[in-house]
Amino acid sequence: MTPPEIKFRKIILVCTNTKEDGSPCCGARGGAELHKKIKEAVRAANPTIRVSKTGCLGTCKSGVNVVIMPDDLWLGNVTEEDIPEIVKLATK
């Protein structure tokens, strides 16, 4: 294997996972829509920060869950109102 050419300095993972058994999940709480809005806001603030959808992060009850890496910041119960704070945390 070889290291990829990396053009991003951070990555924000937004859980969009859905569960068909009805148990709590980020997808049912608007994870996909939130991913799109966070991506737009972060890209406008700093295009070297990648925002990607992710599968289950294992903290489903506090969805929508977001992780900022490599800062190791785990954020739960994220809503659209939190987007400015996420941009601030990611770009500092």
Interacting residues toward ligand FES by CB under 6 A: 15, 17, 25-26, 56-60, 63, 65
How is the beta sheet containing 66-69 ordered, strand by strand? 49-54, 10-15, 66-69, 73-75
In whole angstroms, the minimum distance from the beta carbon of 64 to ligand FES comes to 7
**Residue 14 or 87 with smaller CB distance to ligand FES:** 14
**Residue 43 or 59 with smaller CB distance to ligand FES:** 59
**Residue 47 or 55 with smaller CB distance to ligand FES:** 55
In whole angstroms, the minimum distance from the beta carbon of 26 to ligand FES comes to 3
Three-state SS at 8: coil
Report the C-alpha gap between 47 and 38 in whole angstroms.
Answer: 12
Cα 43-66-7 angle, rounded to 5 deg: 40
In whole angstroms, the minimum distance from the beta carbon of 75 to ligand FES comes to 11
Amino acid identity, residue 30?
A: G
